């Protein structure tokens, strides 16, 4: 995605004084990091992270208390205490940060900075998913109370694939010793560098000013940034949001699906309601084999894998009449044929009659966790096949948003390596 926004406007990324853990004050950098807040599978994942280190970042991004107000106030108090105790400390000067993640299969590099906020109509930062109002409200209360951005959004842009501009700075920078290096328990190795040289920063900023970006992960936090900007009318730090920008022409992302857990709907009831509306086939396990069958069916049309009763049920070939009655016809064909569109418009709303609300539906990134929770709670897990990145980008260019939680781009940046305090400007 290498076209700029209206009137030549593009991405404006500025340096900031990052808040970082002081290594001598924590058990290890790996022990204080966390996946993004919406990837932590409650309650098991939360308890695991809380017990990993008393200063794990999860105590800021997912504080625990009886009310929302108490949770957010607790996060603010924890942040202030850690700053006073020297557990967290600001870097001495503003910087852009080069961030690298790698494992045996993937290498991702990008730039972390404070990005000037812009609305969808500006065509600079393009969302591709809808958001849930209650999540935005919760994140806004947390950011407002703590005056901090704890987690960088993951944004992508596309260069011409050459080695100039931001790419050149990134690759020069990674030849130097990093500020920090750690390996998290998922096997990813993380490194972070500060870019403080004015010429390097200018080279990055000039290059990015010619690009627009796609929100790969963090739609709710981006919507939260925009809401809080509206609350602070005077120009200042609330006009910028913490992001990681990755050039996918250079470092392609991996795209995974986000699965649905339908509370209160046993698999038997889900299947019974599908009679005559979808083809249903029983599949033998294990899970990887069932997912291979889902991938094959998805190549031919809409398909889903239902689990929760100890088995796997592949449903595909939806009745055309059902789709014509339920899927809105005023959207592009690429949107109408999305699995997420068919799931929400046809299955959830009309066949199973399940409201899209947190008490009825949970969104789970990890496939095994979705199946395990469905089996434990006698619920139905709807396992999805991922959408191709090109489809996401093309719809975003058209200004068409996908159903919420349609995609999971990764690898996602680890939370806790660099934070942004809005009190530091």
The model's pLDDT over 171-228, given as tens digits with 9 standing for 90+, comes to 999 999 999 999 998 899 999 999 999 999 999 999 999 999 999 989 999 999 999 9
Does residue 379 have a cis bond before it (omega within 30 degrees)?
A: no
Contact between 259 and 364 under an 8 Å Cβ cutoff? The reply is yes
3-class secondary structure, 115: strand
pTM of the predicted structure, to 2 decimals: 0.80
List the one residue out of 27, 66, 37, 13 whose CA is nearest residue 219: 37
Q: pLDDT category, 1, cuts 50, 70, 90?
A: very low
Dihedral sign of CA atoms 25, 218, 291, 396 in order: negative
Q: Is the pLDDT of residue 329 over 80?
A: yes
Beta strand spans in 38-170 (E): 88-90, 96-102, 107-116, 125-126, 148-149, 153-157
Q: In this predicted model, what pLDDT tens digit does every residue of 16-67 receive, in sequence order? A: 999 999 999 998 999 999 888 777 654 556 666 766 789 999 999 999 889 9
Q: At what angle do helices 287-298 and 367-377 cross, to 10 degrees?
A: 110
Q: Give CA separation, 406 vs 10, 151, 343, in Å.
A: 26, 21, 10
Average pLDDT for residues 285-303, to the nearest whole number? 95
* Per-residue pLDDT at 79: 98
* Per-residue pLDDT at 362: 93
The partner residues of 362 in beta bridges, in order of sequence, read 261
Structure tokens at 380: 């139905």
Q: pLDDT category, 395, cuts 50, 70, 90?
A: confident
Q: pLDDT category, 393, cuts 50, 70, 90?
A: confident
Measure the CA–CA gap between 142 and 144, rounded to whole angstroms: 5
Dihedral sign of CA atoms 79, 186, 167, 218 in order: negative
Q: Is the pLDDT of residue 7 over 60?
A: no
Does residue 286 have a cis bond before it (omega within 30 degrees)?
A: yes
Q: How much of the chain, in percent, has pLDDT values that exceed 90?
A: 73
* Per-residue pLDDT at 332: 87
Measure the CA–CA gap between 248 and 263, rounded to whole angstroms: 36
Structure tokens at 393: 């980008």
Measure the CA–CA gap between 25 and 130, rounded to whole angstroms: 40
Q: Give CA separation, 343 vs 268, 306, 378, 400, 403, in Å.
A: 18, 12, 20, 17, 9
């Amino acid at each position: 995605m290498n076209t700029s926004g209206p009137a030549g406007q593009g991405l404006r990324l500025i340096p900031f004084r990052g808040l970082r853990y002081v290594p001598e004050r924590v058990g290890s950098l790996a022990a204080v990091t966390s996946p993004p807040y919406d990837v932590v599978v409650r309650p098991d994942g939360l308890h695991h992270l809380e017990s990993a280190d008393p200063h794990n970042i999860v105590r800021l991004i997912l504080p625990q208390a009886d009310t929302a107000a108490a949770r957010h106030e607790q996060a603010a108090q924890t942040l202030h205490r850690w700053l006073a105790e020297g557990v967290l400390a600001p870097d001495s000067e503003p910087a852009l940060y080069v961030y690298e993640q790698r494992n045996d299969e993937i290498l991702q590099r990008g730039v972390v900075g404070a990005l000037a906020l812009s609305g969808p109509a500006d065509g600079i930062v393009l969302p591709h998913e809808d958001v849930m109002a209650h999540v935005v409200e919760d994140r806004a209360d947390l950011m407002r109370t703590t005056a901090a951005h704890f987690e960088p959004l993951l944004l992508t842009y596309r260069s011409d694939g050459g080695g100039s501009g931001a790419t050149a700075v990134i690759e020069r920078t990674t030849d130097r010793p990093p500020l920090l290096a750690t390996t998290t328990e998922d096997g990813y190795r993380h490194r972070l560098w500060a870019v403080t040289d004015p010429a390097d920063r200018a080279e990055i900023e000039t290059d990015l000013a010619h690009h627009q970006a796609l929100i790969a992960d963090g739609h709710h936090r981006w919507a939260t940034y925009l809401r809080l900007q509206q609350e602070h009318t005077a120009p200042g730090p609330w006009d910028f949001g913490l992001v990681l920008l990755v050039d996918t022409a250079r470092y392609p992302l991996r795209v995974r699906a986000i699965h649905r857990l339908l509370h209160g709907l046993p698999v038997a009831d889900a299947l019974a309601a599908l009679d005559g509306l979808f083809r249903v086939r029983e599949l033998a396990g294990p899970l990887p084999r069932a997912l291979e069958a889902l991938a094959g069916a998805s190549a031919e049309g809409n398909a889903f894998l239902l689990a929760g009763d100890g088995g796997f049920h592949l449903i595909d070939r939806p009745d055309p009449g059902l789709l014509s009655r339920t899927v809105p016809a005023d959207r592009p064909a690429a949107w109408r044929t999305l699995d997420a569109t068919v799931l929400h418009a046809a299955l959830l709303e009309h066949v199973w009659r399940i409201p899209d609300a947190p008490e009825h539906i949970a969104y789970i990134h990890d496939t095994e966790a979705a199946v395990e929770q469905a089996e434990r709670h006698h619920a139905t897990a709807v396992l999805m096949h991922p959408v191709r990145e090109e489809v996401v980008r093309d719809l975003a260019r058209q200004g068409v948003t996908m159903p919420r939680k349609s995609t999971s781009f990764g690898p996602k940046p680890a939370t806790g390596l660099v934070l942004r305090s809005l009190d530091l400007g």
